[in-house]
Amino acid sequence: MRDLVCLPQTRLAYALILGALAALGPLCTDLYLPALPDIAQQFTAPTSVVQLTLTATLLGLGVGQLLFGPLSDSLGRRRTLLSSLVLFVVASLGCTLATDIHQLLVARLLQGIAGSGGIVLSRAIARDLYQGHELTRFYALLMMINGVAPIGAPVLGGELLRLVDWRGIFAVLTTIVLLLTLASTLQVRETLPPQQRTPGGLRQTLQQIRQLLTLRPFMGLCLAQGFTIAGMFAYIGASSFVLQQLYGLTPQQFSLCFAVNGIGLILMAQVAARLSNQLGEIHVLQGGLILAMSAASLLVLAGLCHAPLPLVLICLFFSVTVNSVIGTTSVSRAMQAVSPESGGAASALLGLAMFALGALSVPFTGLGGTSMLTMSLTILGCYAIAVLLYWRVHGWQGRRARGR
């Protein structure tokens, strides 16, 4: 297999490429966050309508994975990946040239669909190359690299607003993806040999998805991960308005706060990988779910008590960074529950759950007007559903041997 793949010299080098591809999601969602108030002002659109540009992207990121994941199982990883990157460049140009909020919504939807290719294929390629604890370690490495995007994207977006308007931000994103397309063309090789591909086109793809939907262990982890990520996207969609308009932060100050949480995501991913080796993935996952509920409950209390900004930021930090603990372990366990031939379809369903549920959670933060309380309640609700679904499907395992 490794001879076929023609891997770069080290695992880290290959992880850098796959991590950058996985980072297309955060780049889509986070780079323009500091500019959301400016977009609302330029298009004279309500906050709730401007938030739909994020919702459209999340829907695209989710639904697109149902296209690119199974397609890669049939046609191969490399060809599918390069096609998605070309579409991303076109959609990014559309965002740059949009003349009203409706055109921007359509372009953002297409951008999300295209960006899903890099996300779903980075997971599928990793599944082609690794298994067991090695796969968990590699996913943790991907999450560490991927975590640079949530750190750098809003900071870069905030600094770019000193020089250009929001259109310039999308122009920079177009340039970034052009460079990534070139790197992928030169470095990424096929990891799914023709004899392991799934023939049969759309009918076979739908059959694979139906089989996965009936696979209880996989779906339990898939939905638990999806609702946890939905809570984080509630934070992503509302935090720029909450922290800038309600707490008075500048775009640069907001981006720095956002970056601190991104650093936390990186650190938590590495902690999860280490603890998984010692305690077992299931134990670490369950601990992450408990931490998520605890942190989100404190965040709701902070909103009810109109807590000062430092306390709010501390609660937000733990409410957000716990996603790395749950994500690293749940995705690894879910992907190990399926065969390599279904890796693309499984990765697609994981991505669909994350981004589609995330798209649904964002509008809830704007009910009655975006506020600290609506954001925190949405986060807590998503985490509570994740815990309930996990418990209903898997139970709460207490023996170490079962956590491996």
Give the whole-angstrom CA distance, residue 394 versus residue 333: 12
Q: What is the pLDDT of residue 105?
A: 94
Residues 6+ apart with CB under 8 A from 363: 48, 51, 52, 55
Residue 9 burial (CB count, 10 A): 7
Which of the pair, 146 or 257, is modelled with greater confidence?
A: 257
CATH tag for 2-191+198-403 (out of 1.20.1250.20, 3.30.110.40, 3.40.1350.10, 3.40.50.300): 1.20.1250.20
Cβ burial 118-140 (10 Å sphere, 16+ → b, else e): bbbbbbbbbbbbbeebebbbbbb
For the residues of 328-381, what is the DSSP string, one character each? HHHHHHHHHTS-GGGHHHHHHHHHHHHHHHHHHHHHHTTTTS--HHHHHHHHHH
- For residue range 257-299, list pLDDT tens digits in order: 888 888 888 888 888 888 888 888 888 999 999 999 999 999 9
> pLDDT above 70 covers what percent of the chain?
88
Supply the pLDDT for residue 383: 96
pLDDT of residue 15: 74
Answer whether 247's CB lies under 8 Å from 309's CB. yes
Average pLDDT, the chain: 83
CA 328 – CA 101 distance, rounded (Å) = 36
Contact 335, 347 (CB under 8 A): yes
Residue 89 pLDDT greater than 90, yes or no: yes
Confidence (pLDDT) at 9? 45
**Spatial separation of the C-alpha atoms in residues 235 and 377, rounded to whole Å:** 10
Q: Name the residue type at position 182.
A: L
The DSSP secondary structure of 37-98, one letter per residue, reads HHHHHHTT--HHHHHHHHHHHHHHHHHHHHHHHHHHHHH-HHHHHHHHHHHHHHHHHHHHH-
The pLDDT of residue 4 is above 70: no
Share of the chain above pLDDT 90, in %: 26
**pLDDT tens for residues 166-221?**
899 999 999 989 998 988 888 778 878 888 777 755 567 678 788 888 888 889 89
pLDDT at 346: 81
- pLDDT for the residue numbered 200: 59
| Amino acid at the residue 311 | L
Going from N- to C-terminal start, the domains of the chain cover 2-191+198-403
